[in-house]
Amino acid sequence: MPNMSMVKNEMPSQEPDVRNKNFLEVALGYTEEQAISEAQRCLNCKHKPCVSGCPVQIDIPAFIQKVAEGEFEEAYKIISKSSSLPAVCGRVCPQETQCECKCVRGIKGEPVAIGRLERFVADYHNAHSTEKAEKPVSNGHKAAIIGSGPSGLACAGDLAKKGYDVTIFEALHLAGGVLVYGIPEFRLPKSIVQKEIDGLKDLGVKIETNMVIGKTVSIDELMDEFGFETVFIGSGAGLPRFMNIPGENLKGVYSANEFLTRINLMKAYKPDSTTPVQHGKKVVVVGGGNVAMDAARSAKRLGADVYIVYRRTEKELPARAEEVEHAKEEGINFCMLTNPIEINGKDGWVSNVHCQVMELSEPDESGRAKPVPKEGCTVDIETDCVIMSIGTSPNPLIKSTTEGLETQKWGGIIVDEETGLTSREGVYAGGDAVTGAATVILAMGAGKTAAKAMDEYMQSKANA
């Protein structure tokens, strides 16, 4: 008999007023009892609508049935058939617009908490499994992966499982890409990312850090001199955008990338860190996406009074509802319909942000209501630290050093959607480097798609 509760089992979490002062994970995860109770809410629908909402088509009802039966390891096996990073995706996927929004239980009441169950299963596996992934027999073919973010890790994992000799090249000193430099510890503990990476190493994947492809070596050199038959570009969208308004280069103005990298990758939140970051008293975060929420919540944890400034209304905030909710609970202030037009400083340091008050008019090309200036209405916000979180673009380093690699005007690499193949033979791409800033799961899916095509390409070449 299914559990007919209209609401999800609540996620145990740190109290808002406690967690906004530490960097420990906010959500604590289901207990076994809670997971089973939640799993029992699944109706095991024949037509599996949730699966169609999953970018990597995890057999969701099947794994949930195993959870309901208490067979957690079996559940893990089902998830890992389709997903390379369940512990990560269970935490950062926007389930409310993917699997969960298709859930039949969501019609009257709340959908099954698929994300929380995925997380539970992955964490259970990580805590209990002593099984080490067995290194597959090598097939002698070499594949290079550029970037160790979600798309690269997924691509590497799938190829390694098929016996390919896979090397990941990472520009930074630590593997994980946006999972380690971007998403904060309190939302995605770095030990979880490390566990996923260690799993890949067990499969025989080599990780070369401190390798900036396009600088240290080029893609052509990888293929011509280092013997890689195929290359996957998963270099992400790491280039921060600025607003190009006066005062943006004052001290105390950061890109969200810099602020978060200092805190996450370089551990600037720890008192003994050798990397500095400004501990603002009153911080203004410009933008309304997930990255803006991460930056705001990080600044809060460093002791600041934090204001999110966004030019549309709360309804249009691109961040996940859950992130906005968490931010609010933690005491972040939201200034909607506000758009910075000038940053003023004192002695070289930012002192206030001069903002135009906006109002919404007709929807624009993106379908969202277009914000327009409200004539004669401006507002000044006093601040000692401004964090620009208005998006990122693909890094041009690879494009500028790889002849014949076609890109969109805005920098995204052009690929065939079915395979991830770029305009260069043997060179594939996926993730934010192709789509611009998107989600972890979409990047992971793209990595898997490319891995399949790369496998077919190398096999067909070998058999030719």
Q: Which CB atom, from 349 or from 364, has the smaller least distance to another protein?
A: 349
CA–CA separation, 195 and 82 (whole Å): 18
Shortest Å distance, C-beta 164 to another protein = 23
Supply φ then ψ for residue 355, to 5 degrees: -120, 145
Q: Which CB atom, from 83 or from 395, has the smaller least distance to another protein?
A: 395
Shortest Å distance, C-beta 54 to another protein = 30
Distance of CA 4 to the CA centre of its chain: 33
298 binds another protein (CB under 8 A): no
Q: Which CB atom, from 251 or from 281, has the smaller least distance to another protein?
A: 251
389 binds another protein (CB under 8 A): no
395 binds another protein (CB under 8 A): yes
CA distances from 25 to 14, 86, 331 (A): 8, 17, 17
Among residues 84, 257, 338, 422, which is the contact residue for another protein, using CB under 8 A?
257
238 binds another protein (CB under 8 A): yes
Give the interface segment with another protein, choosing from 1-9, 104-112, 315-323, 394-402 (CB under 8 A).
394-402
333-336 own/partner pairs: CB under 8 Å, 24+ apart: 333/305, 333/306, 333/307, 333/308, 334/307, 334/308, 334/310, 335/307, 335/308, 335/309, 335/310, 335/381, 336/310, 336/312
52 binds another protein (CB under 8 A): no
Shortest Å distance, C-beta 243 to another protein = 10
Among residues 97, 129, 249, 361, which is the contact residue for another protein, using CB under 8 A?
249
Q: Which CB atom, from 83 or from 235, has the smaller least distance to another protein?
A: 235
Report the interhelical angle of 60-68 vs 32-39 (nearest 10°).
130
Count of residues touching another protein (by CB under 8 A): 38
Tokens encoding 10: 């609540």
Shortest Å distance, C-beta 260 to another protein = 9
Q: Which CB atom, from 49 or from 345, has the smaller least distance to another protein?
A: 345
Tokens encoding 113: 């908490």
Q: Which CB atom, from 26 or from 302, has the smaller least distance to another protein?
A: 302
Among residues 46, 173, 315, 409, which is the contact residue for another protein, using CB under 8 A?
173
CA–CA separation, 151 and 69 (whole Å): 32
Angle in degrees, CA 167, 450, 98, rounded to 5: 115
Among residues 44, 138, 191, 273, which is the contact residue for another protein, using CB under 8 A?
273
278 binds another protein (CB under 8 A): yes
Q: Which CB atom, from 55 or from 252, has the smaller least distance to another protein?
A: 252
Within 8 A by CB and 6+ apart from 366, the residues are none
Residues between 217 and 236 with contacts to another protein, criterion CB under 8 A: 217
309 class by beta-carbon count within 10 Å (0-12 exposed, 13-18 middle, 19+ buried): buried
Among residues 215, 346, 374, 461, which is the contact residue for another protein, using CB under 8 A?
215
Give the interface segment with another protein, choosing from 183-191, 257-265, 364-372, 436-444 (CB under 8 A).
257-265
Shortest Å distance, C-beta 165 to another protein = 19
245 binds another protein (CB under 8 A): no
348 binds another protein (CB under 8 A): yes
Shortest Å distance, C-beta 33 to another protein = 39
Shortest Å distance, C-beta 265 to another protein = 8
Among residues 240, 412, 431, 445, which is the contact residue for another protein, using CB under 8 A?
240
Among residues 63, 254, 269, 334, which is the contact residue for another protein, using CB under 8 A?
254
CA–CA separation, 147 and 171 (whole Å): 7
258 binds another protein (CB under 8 A): yes
CA distances from 62 to 1, 34, 181, 283, 346 (A): 17, 18, 34, 46, 61
Whether residue 300 contacts residue 186, with contact meaning beta carbons closer than 8 Å, is answered with no
Angle in degrees, CA 421, 175, 20, rounded to 5: 115
251 binds another protein (CB under 8 A): yes
248 binds another protein (CB under 8 A): yes
Tally of CA atoms within 13 A in the half-sphere of 313 that contains its CB? 8
Interface residue list for another protein (CB under 8 A)? 171-173, 181, 209-212, 215-217, 238-240, 242, 244, 248-252, 254-255, 257-258, 261-262, 266-267, 273-276, 278, 348, 395-397
